[in-house]
Structure 1
């Protein structure tokens, strides 16, 4: 266990579980994670290894004996008949049979219908009536001669979710963790290894939790396949339900006017629509209209009366195209079905998660550290729905008066959700508040900027905020920084139907100005890059400033681990690409020796020296013996110093062993870490170039 895992176990004893155990016990049971973690929480919520092993065996035994596999349903039914009574784990839903005036349960895996349930159970657990609930239930079999009577009786039923928790204890324990430790604990609770994610990517993952802790929060995430968009809504909480986008009907979602029965929004905290994108999908226009009204006013009508509900709406779907393609040819909502591609509907979305920034899930991204038993966290998030943290930035910042009420609502709800998740106890510094506020503004700006493309009646909005001294601070989206040429175009249709592109006035182009025009004019400058920004490479960033140098000195204390050495090799490639074939260049590296793998490090450098020699690069290195070097910079003999705050380590983790990913082959396909670079003219050059 690392330090964080020990701390988690100390402050949340009995409420956390090792996240890799879920896979260990799951086997071939098709059951949500929160069901497994409920059982693991009963038997394995400890750091004591022998107890964990015993607990795993107990949980496996419980699943083997009581979880109903569909193909073994007949055997289980026979067991119940022979024994008279038996415990099962299954998903149970209940209907009222009004002809007989009784409630009847259906067991989805066991294949039983019309099992009698008493009214008290249904009153206690109303969710049984909508969508069904995973339960541990005792079933009895009592045969009677009466043909109309069912022999199956449900004697006891216990939903698989936490019965009680201590909210004040949770808030107190939160105070023992730094912000970074707390974020890592939450990322581990979701099941991911926090070391694989940068800060922005962690926040993106945590935004997926806001619908569980914020009432009537409308969230959309569109991005490539395989990034885990729907996982949280199906596996994470007993208070959320995931439905296929194609199966949604007005009666199922809101109200059945003939029976008066309320739909999903009346019972669940979060209703998520899977596979929401797809131009060809047929959608009921009436459903879109009711959803628009519900998402704006939190209410829907049943015949003559109007009903309110608190369910948050989440829409997840896959995109077919790259971001620059979508920005050039249409907009970031272009994949949605026509009926939902409606500016009034889209304007009600509070935050757009940029799914293209989320890594495709790989095996090593899963955590084997400790995280909350998910139904404990689900109950905490649910209780936070009663709080409002949306004004917590107002002591330090105010939103620009340009920003409309609807934009403000979206920003405030996202900010409130993130504050509840990260700072339930208060205690955020001004910088931390500002970071969350900027993130909340960016997610709403992404929605609004696309709306202005779709519908020309939306006016231009400056998404800025002021701090207490009145200075305006603008917020941009990451794709705006990466593709300013495409982002600031409005798209209108010509008379004969062709698409005309009218470029808007140039936007202030920050770090995304073209870095390498044909013959770049080299000038002193300072550039800042955001986490997850793509399109960067050593060739475009550093190449022009290395061209013409005959001696280059790189100072970087962290060229030790394999990926760091590989980065340096890619730097040497850039040197080779920017020198003439008939020239030779000397590259000298000053770094520190790895205390554990120094021999391997030297061996790697020797191999690079040999390889570089054959292409006209004389590579040498030295280890700094003082251990005092911290600066990371590149100095050329023709008058340039390039100061990199992260050295050459500017790319996020990517799959190095996979020969078939472009991130492995092309640097511009890798997401970056947040970093800054300064180009400084150092005076006269040492040669005549």
Structure 2
């Protein structure tokens, strides 16, 4: 275990589980993750390896004996008949038989129906009446001559979810972790390796949890396939339900007027619509209307009666086009079904997660570290629905008066959700509060900016927050607004672009690949001293666009970077040399000297790689040399040319996030501009020496 895992086990003993164990025990059991982790939490919530191995075998044995596979249902039914009583793990739903005035259960995989259930069980677990609940149940068999009587008897039923938890203990334990450690613990709890994600990417993952801890929160995420958009809503919590977007009806979702039965919003904390995108999907007009009213007012009508509910609404779907294509030709909502492509409906969405920033899930991204048993975290989040943290920025910041009430509601609900998830104990610093406020504003701004493209009656809004201490106004932009400023504020109606969308004087080095006409070096007279800042997950950045124009003409280049040690760092340096080659005349030679530090553990391998780079460089006109400075005195990272430029790099050449480096058939591997970046800064100075 690493230091964080040890800390997690110390402060949350018995409440955490090693996340790779789920795959170990799952086998071919088609059950949600929270069911498996419930069992693992009973037997494997420890850091002792021997206990874990014993627990794994116990859980496998329980699943092998009691989980009902549909193709083995006949065998299980036979076991129940022969033994008289048997324990099963199955999804159980209950319906009221009003003719006989009894409740009857149906076992999804076991295939038995009309099993009598007592009223007390139904009252204790009302979700049995809606879509069913995974449970551990004891079933008995008693044959009777009465053909109307069911021979199956439900003797006990226990839904698979936590029965109690200590919220105060959770808050006290949170105080033992730094903010970064806590974020990593939550990311591991979801099942991902935090080392594979940047800070912004981690926050985007955690925003998916807000519907569980914030009442009536409306969230949408559209993006490419395979990014895990629906996983949180199908696997993570027993309080959320994932339904196909094409299977929704008014009676199922809200209320059946014929029998008065309340729909899903009355029983679940989060109702998520999977595969929500698709322009040609048939949608009932009545559903759209009642959904708009519910999302705005938290209520819906049943005949003459108005009912309220607390369920958050989540919409996830796949996009078919790239972001610049959508911004140039339509908008970021273009994939929605025609009936939902409605400004009044879209205006009720509190946050738009930019799904195109979320990386496609790869095997290496899963965690083998410790995280909360998801059922425990699900109960914690649910308990926080009773709290309101939306005012926790107001002593330090305020929203611009230009921001409407509906926009404020969206921003405040997102901010409140993030504060509950990250700072349940309070105590966030001003910088941390500001970071979450900016994220909340950006997500609502993304919705509003697209609404202004769709419906010209929406006024232009300046999404700005003010620092209470200094009075300084801080405008917020979305990342795609920074990346694709030429297209972002165009309206589909007239193809025009507002003046303020042009972004002022944007330097050549900052242009994205979609905006650059050519990768040819800029004329020497256009080069200037400047400072550029790039956001996490920004794309369209390459060494060619950052350094190319400044590397045209020198005979010697010196690179100082203490972190050119590991394989991926050496590969980055090789790609830097490729940029040098592209921008030098073929008939000329350039000397490139690297100053770095020797790897403490793999120094010999590092030297071998550098020797290979030297051999390869000599064949293309680069005289490559290097030296190790192991004094520990070099910290700055920069590039110096002998024709008068010094480029300061706060991250050195390590500006790209993790990508599939060994996959030859991905463009992120072949072309740098398709890789998401880390947050970094570059300063270009004329070298006076």
TM-score (normalizing by structure 1): 0.97
Question: 1:275 aligns to what?
Answer: 275
Question: 2:88 aligns to what?
Answer: 88
Q: Compared with structure 1, are the counterparts of its residues 426 and 451 closer, same or farther at alpha carbon in structure 2 (3 Å cutoff)?
A: same
| C-alpha deviation, 1:544, in angstroms | 0.1
> In the TM superposition, what are the counterparts of 1:53-68 in structure 2 within 5 Å?
53-68=53-68
- Give distance in 1, aligned partners of 2:502 and 2:643: 31
Question: 1:647 aligns to what?
Answer: 652
Q: Could you tell me whether the CA contact under 8 Å between 1:9 and 1:46 is conserved in 2?
A: yes
Q: CA RMSD, aligned part only?
A: 1.0
Corresponding residue SS for 2:89: strand
| C-alpha deviation, 1:595, in angstroms | 1.2
- Give distance in 2, aligned partners of 1:47 and 1:683: 58
Corresponding residue SS for 1:542: helix
Q: Could you tell me whether the CA contact under 8 Å between 2:449 and 2:489 is conserved in 1?
A: no
| C-alpha deviation, 1:85, in angstroms | 0.8
Corresponding residue SS for 2:139: strand
Q: Compared with structure 1, are the counterparts of its residues 250 and 512 closer, same or farther at alpha carbon in structure 2 (3 Å cutoff)?
A: farther
Q: Could you tell me whether the CA contact under 8 Å between 1:490 and 1:504 is conserved in 2?
A: no
Question: 2:264 aligns to what?
Answer: 264
> In the TM superposition, what are the counterparts of 1:457-606 in structure 2 within 5 Å?
457-468=457-468, 469-492=470-493, 500-507=494-501, 509=503, 513-515=507-509, 519-520=522-523, 521-606=526-611
| C-alpha deviation, 1:490, in angstroms | 1.2
| C-alpha deviation, 1:470, in angstroms | 1.2
| C-alpha deviation, 1:510, in angstroms | 7.3
- Give distance in 2, aligned partners of 1:147 and 1:657: 64
Corresponding residue SS for 2:623: strand
Question: 1:249 aligns to what?
Answer: 249
| C-alpha deviation, 1:507, in angstroms | 2.5
Q: Does 1:611 align with 2:616?
A: yes
Question: 1:495 aligns to what?
Answer: none
- Give distance in 1, aligned partners of 2:229 and 2:507: 32
- Give distance in 2, aligned partners of 1:278 and 1:73: 37
| C-alpha deviation, 1:34, in angstroms | 0.3
Cα deviation, 1:319-339, whole Å, max 9, x if unaligned, reads: 000000000000000000000
Cα deviation, 1:108-138, whole Å, max 9, x if unaligned, reads: 0001111110111101110000010000000
Question: 2:306 aligns to what?
Answer: 306
- Give distance in 2, aligned partners of 1:538 and 1:126: 58
Q: Could you tell me whether the CA contact under 8 Å between 1:632 and 1:645 is conserved in 2?
A: yes
Q: Could you tell me whether the CA contact under 8 Å between 2:139 and 2:156 is conserved in 1?
A: yes
- Give distance in 2, aligned partners of 1:513 and 1:109: 62
Q: Compared with structure 1, are the counterparts of its residues 329 and 67 closer, same or farther at alpha carbon in structure 2 (3 Å cutoff)?
A: same
| C-alpha deviation, 1:512, in angstroms | 5.8
Question: 1:114 aligns to what?
Answer: 114
Q: Could you tell me whether the CA contact under 8 Å between 2:488 and 2:501 is conserved in 1?
A: no
- Give distance in 1, aligned partners of 2:101 and 2:153: 16
| C-alpha deviation, 1:591, in angstroms | 0.3
- Give distance in 1, aligned partners of 2:606 and 2:233: 45
Q: Could you tell me whether the CA contact under 8 Å between 1:511 and 1:529 is conserved in 2?
A: no
Corresponding residue SS for 2:114: strand
| C-alpha deviation, 1:455, in angstroms | 0.2
| C-alpha deviation, 1:625, in angstroms | 3.1
Cα deviation, 1:539-588, whole Å, max 9, x if unaligned, reads: 01100001001110000000000000000000000000000111111000
> In the TM superposition, what are the counterparts of 1:22-41 in structure 2 within 5 Å?
22-41=22-41
> In the TM superposition, what are the counterparts of 1:59-78 in structure 2 within 5 Å?
59-78=59-78
Question: 1:433 aligns to what?
Answer: 433
- Give distance in 1, aligned partners of 2:631 and 2:24: 48
- Give distance in 2, aligned partners of 1:471 and 1:486: 29
Q: Does 1:315 align with 2:346?
A: no
- Give distance in 2, aligned partners of 1:548 and 1:466: 46
| C-alpha deviation, 1:314, in angstroms | 0.2
Deviates more, 1:609-618 or 1:18-27: 609-618
Cα deviation, 1:197-221, whole Å, max 9, x if unaligned, reads: 0000000000000000000000000
Corresponding residue SS for 1:140: strand
> In the TM superposition, what are the counterparts of 1:444-459 in structure 2 within 5 Å?
444-459=444-459
Alignment gaps of 5+ in structure 1: 493-499, 685-689
> In the TM superposition, what are the counterparts of 1:99-138 in structure 2 within 5 Å?
99-138=99-138
Q: Could you tell me whether the CA contact under 8 Å between 1:352 and 1:443 is conserved in 2?
A: yes
Question: 1:687 aligns to what?
Answer: none
- Give distance in 2, aligned partners of 1:513 and 1:183: 35
TM-score (normalizing by structure 2): 0.97
Alignment gaps of 5+ in structure 2: 510-515
- Give distance in 2, aligned partners of 1:511 and 1:113: 70
Q: Could you tell me whether the CA contact under 8 Å between 1:276 and 1:316 is conserved in 2?
A: yes
Question: 2:149 aligns to what?
Answer: 149
Corresponding residue SS for 1:489: coil
Corresponding residue SS for 1:533: coil
Q: Could you tell me whether the CA contact under 8 Å between 2:614 and 2:623 is conserved in 1?
A: yes
- Give distance in 2, aligned partners of 1:512 and 1:618: 34
| C-alpha deviation, 1:509, in angstroms | 2.5
- Give distance in 2, aligned partners of 1:401 and 1:188: 39
- Give distance in 2, aligned partners of 1:405 and 1:85: 59
| C-alpha deviation, 1:505, in angstroms | 1.2
Question: 1:672 aligns to what?
Answer: 677
| C-alpha deviation, 1:664, in angstroms | 0.5
- Give distance in 2, aligned partners of 1:670 and 1:439: 22
| C-alpha deviation, 1:639, in angstroms | 0.5
Question: 1:175 aligns to what?
Answer: 175
Q: Could you tell me whether the CA contact under 8 Å between 1:511 and 1:528 is conserved in 2?
A: no
Corresponding residue SS for 1:564: helix
Question: 2:512 aligns to what?
Answer: none
Corresponding residue SS for 1:306: strand
- Give distance in 2, aligned partners of 1:443 and 1:512: 24
- Give distance in 1, aligned partners of 2:537 and 2:110: 47
- Give distance in 2, aligned partners of 1:605 and 1:95: 70
User: 4+ residue runs of structure 1 moved beyond 4 angstroms?
Assistant: 510-513
- Give distance in 2, aligned partners of 1:570 and 1:509: 30
| C-alpha deviation, 1:504, in angstroms | 1.8
| C-alpha deviation, 1:506, in angstroms | 4.3
- Give distance in 2, aligned partners of 1:614 and 1:20: 47
Q: Could you tell me whether the CA contact under 8 Å between 1:26 and 1:36 is conserved in 2?
A: yes
- Give distance in 2, aligned partners of 1:238 and 1:613: 61
- Give distance in 2, aligned partners of 1:26 and 1:509: 51
| C-alpha deviation, 1:514, in angstroms | 3.7
Question: 2:635 aligns to what?
Answer: 630
